[in-house]
Structure 1
């Protein structure tokens, strides 16, 4: 949501709602991890989050889906891994990170050398804060906190399937 106000001109309220690209889901939306597509052998996920408890919980989901997981506590450590020759197929990153860059900036820098990298942003901010006024490229998803682990698994599944 964005609100702007100008003296003498009034107030403008822009409300941005998520858009679904595809068919409407039928039945129960909640998924169990056993119903979710799995990573191929050897695929690796990098999880970047500054809060240790969040990082630990988020790391469990890609591991349960067959990914090897690597953890980083800030954007500097995350980018260092991304700039190495370690295989990384999926980046799951919080948007608000210490270390001089936010998660979006780190992902953009990582995708320079890894243009096909799949990215899942997790954020406590509105999705529009990630997008600005643009859109996300294919292979990039956003999940807004708080979220159930099934929603995280579902977003990762979407990224695996879109492969």
Structure 2
């Protein structure tokens, strides 16, 4: 979309819903980002441990089976302290709070999200001076 910021950074996308994962990855890739998509936190951590290059952003669902998005972000920060974090969720605020993510204290997107809003928020988090959410 014209006027929507893109980039070339490496994004680790984690969402247990395949259709959401594919749609978000497609939007990001069309804007120039290099995206690796994982279905869960365990898969994401395995990739992060093996990947030699930079991971600029973790874009993760909050509520997932196994490792939650918040726990994933905490674990990833130990091996990738430079990686920024953007949480997203389609759940109610109550469910999100129970998983340790509060909208005001971390970078957060409510699903469903439009492609334009997604790309603007990703660019905002990547351009921020310090890592978010950790």
**TM-score, structure 2 length as denominator?**
0.80
Q: Which residue of 2 aligns with 1:131?
A: 101
**Which runs of 5 or more residues in structure 1 are unaligned?**
1-32
* 1:73, distance to aligned residue in structure 2 (A): 0.6
Partners of 2:69 and 2:5 in 1: CA distance: 25
Q: Which residue of 1 aligns with 2:58?
A: 91
> Looking at both structures, which has the greater relative contact order when contacts are Cα pairs under 8 Å and sequence separation is at least 6?
2
Partners of 2:10 and 2:22 in 1: CA distance: 16
Q: Greater Rg, structure 1 or structure 2?
A: 1
1:157 is aligned, of 117, 123, 130, to 123
Q: Which residue of 2 aligns with 1:142?
A: 108
Structure 2 residue 35 is matched with structure 1 residue 65? no
Partners of 1:156 and 1:56 in 2: CA distance: 17
Q: Which residue of 2 aligns with 1:17?
A: none
RMSD (Å) for aligned C-alpha atoms: 2.2
Q: Which residue of 1 aligns with 2:132?
A: none
Partners of 1:62 and 1:156 in 2: CA distance: 9
How many pairs does the alignment contain? 124
CA contact (8 A) 2:70 2:101 kept: no
CA contact (8 A) 1:62 1:156 kept: no
Extract structure 1 runs of 4+ deviating beyond 6 A. Answer: none
